[in-house]
Amino acid sequence: MPPSFGAHDAAMSEVSGTREPNTNSIVGKMDEVVKKAGGAISGNKRPEVSSSLPDSAESPVTKRPDKHSMDYMVRSGIAGGIAGCAAKTSVAPLDRVKILFQTSNPQFAKYTSSWVGLARALRDIYGRDGMMGLFRGHSATLLKIYPYAAIKFVAYEQYRAVIVGSKAQETWGRRFTAGALAGVTSVFFTYPLEVIRVRLAFETKQRSSSLVDICKKIYHEKPTPKTTPAVPGSASGAARGVASATSATAAVVTPQTGLINFYRGFSMTMLGMVPYAGISFLTHDTMGDLFRLRSVREYTTLPRSANAPVDKPAPLRAWAELISGGISGAVSQTASYPLEVIRRRMQVGGAVGDGHRLRVGETVGLIFKERGLSGFFVGLSIGYVKIIPLSAVSFYTYERMKTVFGI
């Protein structure tokens, strides 16, 4: 019967029309979950859509947040801590091998010359210590990385609010300065935990030292005595004798052991952190600007969430955010890697040789004597393998957690 067929076709057309938008919305379901979670956590209800409201009406949810408030700092700190832990966990085995390569561990020095060596080093660690060997020192890493990442992202938001201020003042120099200051601030408060973590990762003996033993060793280590032989009867010998006496007096006044040992290599860390953190945040924000250009933002950005602050740009799609973070990690790693190698060698100085800690000049000379200029880039390829996913996961998780927390 024609009427029945017509009704049937209309029903099928209606069902088809209903299914099509549902199918197209599958891709965005995860982002919708993030938006709903953000609205629930922030304690704000999704604003009702009303045709009677003018387009210019601003919802209370979208007001500009007070970035200096305790609530904002707590939320950004939690988001940053979670991002840091997620990123570090994803690359923990590579981090263990990289430290062994950088510090010229005798058992793993033979593996540093090729990519095959990376796989063999991972295999040897797994064969000797099992899966736990690949994550040795990771508990100390998480203990350090949560406050480190939390302080870093909180500090960046605070410095950025002060230094950048408005969109008109957003320049490369201001972004770099905010990122560098954030990195220095976070390192200052968490550096002792980094020294302990590196020493735990460096241990490869069957009966490895406990956390308490490592702390005791670091605490009691002494610097290498600096002796300058004087030539009797010469003016230069007398000058050296005066210099030696002055150094001896300074050594009595300056702490030689104790808590200062937990800041071994701190000066090099500061020098390395300025370019690393500054370039990292600068590159990430710059890549975000490029992905949000009018010509490409249709393909690279997601719709703004209901609880997003009014001054927050549209979030990037997952692939765009991961690329932005990965590129920022690669660029910043290249700029600061030689300083990182020097810092690592200084941190484990007491674990090799006669137990004395090395000074900056001695460490540089030792590295150059062993390998030449290439010694300052040992493990850089492994560093890329580690830092690209690390930075990508870190920035991606932080930006998504900011959406969840409505900041």
Highest mean pLDDT among 216-220, 229-233, 396-400: 396-400
Please tell me which residue, 247 or 383, carries the higher pLDDT value.
Answer: 383
CA 388 to chain centre: 10
387 neighbors 337 (Cβ within 8 angstroms): no
Query: Taking CA 72 as the corner, what is the angle to CA 66 and CA 76, rounded to the nearest 5 degrees?
Result: 135
Q: Is the pLDDT of residue 48 over 50?
A: no
Instruction: Compute the distance between CA of residue 85 and CA of residue 77 in angstroms, rounded to an integer.
Output: 12
Q: What is the pLDDT of residue 134?
A: 82
pLDDT mean over 166-184: 91
Which of the four pLDDT bands, split at 50, 70 and 90, describes residue 76?
very high
Instruction: Compute the distance between CA of residue 362 and CA of residue 386 in angstroms, rounded to an integer.
Output: 28
Instruction: Compute the distance between CA of residue 27 and CA of residue 33 in angstroms, rounded to an integer.
Output: 12
Q: Is the pLDDT of residue 263 over 90?
A: no
Please tell me which residue, 185 or 38, carries the higher pLDDT value.
Answer: 185
Q: How far is CA 71 from CA 76, 184, 392, in A?
A: 9, 23, 26
Composition of the chain by helix, strand, coil, percent to 5 = 70, 0, 25
Mean pLDDT of the chain: 76
pTM over 0.75: no
Q: Name 301's bridge partners.
A: 316
Q: Identity (one letter) of the amino acid at 220?
A: H
Q: What is the pLDDT of residue 41?
A: 46
- Using the structure block, give the residue that is written with the tokens 């430290």: 99
Q: What is the pLDDT of residue 83?
A: 96
Which of the four pLDDT bands, split at 50, 70 and 90, describes residue 363?
confident
Which of the four pLDDT bands, split at 50, 70 and 90, describes residue 203?
low
304 neighbors 315 (Cβ within 8 angstroms): yes
Which of the four pLDDT bands, split at 50, 70 and 90, describes residue 237?
low
> Would you give the DSSP letter of residue 295?
T
Highest mean pLDDT among 1-15, 237-251, 275-289: 275-289
Which of the four pLDDT bands, split at 50, 70 and 90, describes residue 356?
low
User: b/e map of 250-267 (b: 16 or more CB within 10 Å)?
Assistant: eeeeeeeeeeebbebbbe
Query: Taking CA 128 as the corner, what is the angle to CA 127 and CA 132, rounded to the nearest 5 degrees?
Result: 90
Instruction: Compute the distance between CA of residue 315 and CA of residue 335 in angstroms, rounded to an integer.
Output: 28
State both tokens at 20: 């099509």
State both tokens at 144: 């350090």
pLDDT mean over 35-55: 44
Instruction: Give per-residue pLDDT as tens, 83-130.
Output: 999 999 888 888 788 777 777 676 776 676 666 777 888 888 888 878
